[in-house]
Amino acid sequence: MKKTTDSNILVAALCGSIRPGSFTKMALEIALRGAAEIGAETKIIDLNDYELVFCSGKKDVSLYPPDVLRLRSDIKKAQGLIIGTPEYHGSFSGVLKNAIDLMGFDEFSGKMVGLIGVAGGRLGAINALNSLRNIGRTLHAWVIPEQVSISEAWKHFNSDGSIKNNELEARLLETGRQVARFAFLHSSKKASEFVKSWENAPANPGG
């Protein structure tokens, strides 16, 4: 975890790739640099570090292994989340889908979310990003407008995780910054007062 100030804002990056030398993870690390510039603490969530099971829809959380609860806790602690995925067969990765299915509203509701997609082909990862945007909406997360779709990723990254394309680096950094900015704003006293008043507002009879 990296920390640049005494901020209590945490931006985590959930990596939907478990491949060694993952371009997705490289892209997320760059985005987290942007979040750190704004003053957020940052954390990479690598699914290789968790022993997860396939989601079976069990309601009793005690039936899941400890790492499922650890993943839920790590996601829940963050005020901002950047989700990265490779695009496989026109969608996001299965390992990411399973991880998200093991969680729910408690982990995502009200959270600021940014999206990054990586593809080996020329078409990029738009389909995967659109699917994740729908999931964010369903789980009541705030998905920021900015997103990054990286086509032919093998052209843009060095083996050490550095990036060759300055324009692409700028977009990744800005995604991280925006997640952090909105997370700070959302957690501010004024924003909290607004959200509370909005939730307690009477129903609009003309709605």
The CATH number given to whatever domain includes residue 97 is 3.40.50.360
- Among 8-17, 104-113, 177-186, 190-199, the minimum mean pLDDT is found in 190-199
Amino acid identity, residue 46? Answer: D
Residue 22 CA to its chain's centroid (Å): 16
User: Is 206 contained in some domain?
Assistant: no
pLDDT given at position 61: 78
User: Is 52 contained in some domain?
Assistant: yes
Q: How far is CA 33 from CA 9, 37, 167, 201, in A?
A: 14, 6, 15, 38
Owning domain of residue 138: 10-199
pTM comes to 0.87
User: Is 207 contained in some domain?
Assistant: no
User: Is 204 contained in some domain?
Assistant: no
User: Is 4 contained in some domain?
Assistant: no
Residue 63 in this model has a pLDDT that exceeds 60: yes
User: Is 180 contained in some domain?
Assistant: yes
In this structure, how many other beta carbons lie within 10 angstroms of the beta carbon of residue 39?
Answer: 15
pLDDT given at position 4: 41
- What total of structural domains would you count in the chain? 1
pLDDT given at position 62: 80
Tokens linked to 162: 């550095």
Q: Please, are residues 47 and 15 in contact by the beta-carbon 8 Å criterion?
A: yes
